[in-house]
A = this chain, B = another copy of it.
């Protein structure tokens, strides 16, 4: 532990450190889902509309929606009057499910045979540190928190104004922590 331990978040963040990536597919795909969530219950939304509202090309939106459709989160209707719609209520779709269906691979570390440890094996077939790794606890801790949080938030939770949504998060973040401690 370092002497900085007592510095409040705002100070720590002010340093501008930037770490851990969200891919374009995850970000833009989630935004498309939010458009569909806001449209839930109405006529299907056409890709041109989403494209305009998100500042993305129609073709790209199409590609993202295809990924989401294949994950059964979205349904499509062809032809005139066609378009896209969520395949179920936005309350029952977590952002974890959305992000996962959009990410090729990513961070998740729970054990030595996890994707992360297999992926970063250097020139060898197996990571040198499989049997004991000083760094794994870093990613394990972050993974737990991240997936815990993402599984607790639904698309419906993101549909309000930003201030309200932020409130939801503060509440859920506390719940997640409480949950973690029980285990």
Contacts and interface: CB of A to CB of B under 8 A. Distances in A.
Determine how many copies of this chain the complex contains.
Answer: 2
The dominant DSSP class at the A interface is helix
Contact of A182 (B8, B22, B132): B8
Most buried by B among A30, A105, A152: A152
Contacts of A24: 120
A77 interface: no
Contact of A127 (B55, B138, B143, B154): B55
Interface string A1-33: 111111111101101111111111011101100
A137 B162 contact: yes
Interface string A125-149: 0011100111111111111111111
Contact of A92 (B2, B8, B127): B2
Nearest to A173: B141
Interface string A99-132: 1100101111010000110001111100111001
28 contacts: A1-B157, A8-B183, A9-B147, A10-B183, A12-B148, A13-B108, A17-B100, A18-B105, A18-B106, A19-B26, A19-B100, A19-B107, A20-B22, A20-B142, A21-B106, A21-B107, A22-B116, A31-B129, A31-B135, A34-B135, A53-B128, A56-B122, A57-B123, A132-B161, A132-B162, A137-B168, A141-B169, A142-B146
